[in-house]
Amino acid sequence: MIKQAIIPLAGLGTRLLPLTSVFAKELLPMNGKPGVEYILDECIEAGIKEVIFIISNKKKIIKKYFYNDNLFKKIIKKKNDKRVIDVYKKIKKYKKMIKFVYQNKPLGTGDAVYKTKSKIKDNFFLMLLPDDLIIKKNCSKAMISIHKKKKCSVMASMKVQKKNVNRWGIYMKDKNIDKNNFFIKDVIEKPSIKIAPSNNAVIGRYILPKKIFGILKNQNKGKGGEIHITDAIRTLIKQNNKFIGHSFKGKYLDCGTMHGYIKSSLEIAKS
Ligand code: G1P
């Protein structure tokens, strides 16, 4: 069973500057609800019991958001507002399941994952990247169900425009399992259009094996001087660990840029 999820939240958010110089982009509201709560709700609905947030000292505002008990208690004591009481109940429910670890140097997603090493109990865990929202169908739940059947790693996949392959991790597909799932032969972080093996992109939902920590421990920096999770996955595939690509059914929303954030908010508001 997959019971733990990790969420890297220490990113600088440079694509959303100047806002992110004072605020965490993951708390930006979409139809009145912070983006990160959509991710948490996806986890809860998929049966996750514990979520590990990887934050940084600069992004302590995220922890504060879940630890504002005194403020809520004061307000509720003053005026017995039903809406505030419900909101506080929800925050408390989230708080109960969240643990925090710190990544104070932005060395990449692979490094962020490595920071959770001592917290992971089972052989597999889920990772969700908060810039990638998937609505209408629970992608994590679908991936967990494939994992249960095949007992291996699973990653979300979506076809992207060929001209944009250098923005994503890109899969080299092996044989199809069924209409929505395929084995992965290789995965390359942000390849040029010339060398991209397909236009099937990695989207931010991963079921990873605990043994990835052993790979990350000694992994060199890759593209852009960062430690990429994609490179560690690539090593695991080369060592004959099975990885499945899952073409999810939900609607993908990119929240990592201002344009994407505005578009995503409108999309959520009308759904
Ligand atoms: C990360 C991954 C990339 C993946 C993408 C999905 O990139 O490194 O492989 O395709 O997330 O959103 P980033 O968005 O951090 O540049």
Domain residue extents for the chain: 4-270
- 4-270 folds as Spore Coat Polysaccharide Biosynthesis Protein SpsA; Chain A (3.90.550)
Residue with token string 């992971």: 120
Ligand 1 near 201 CB (within 6 A): yes
With cut-offs at 50, 70 and 90, classify the pLDDT of residue 236: very high
- Model pTM score: 0.97
Specify the ligand 1 atom closest to the Cα of 201: 10
- Predicted pLDDT at 271: 80
Query: What is the full DSSP assignment across 163-194?
Result: GGGGGSEEEEEEEEEETTEEEEEEEEES--TT
Give the tens place of pLDDT for each residue, 47-62.
Answer: 999 999 999 999 999 9
- Predicted pLDDT at 68: 95
* Cα–Cα distance, 121 to 123 (Å, whole number): 7
- Tell me how crowded residue 267 is: count the other CB atoms within 10 A of its CB: 17
What CA–CA distances, in Å, run from 111 to 3, 226, 230, 243?
A: 22, 8, 11, 20
Q: What angle do CA 16, 17, 23 make, to 5 degrees?
A: 85
* Cα–Cα distance, 259 to 34 (Å, whole number): 17
With cut-offs at 50, 70 and 90, classify the pLDDT of residue 160: very high
Ligand 1 near 109 CB (within 6 A): yes
* Cα–Cα distance, 146 to 140 (Å, whole number): 10
* Ligand 1 atom 6, closest CA: 203
Question: How confident is the model over 219-246, as a mean pLDDT?
Answer: 97
Whether pLDDT at 139 is above 90 = yes
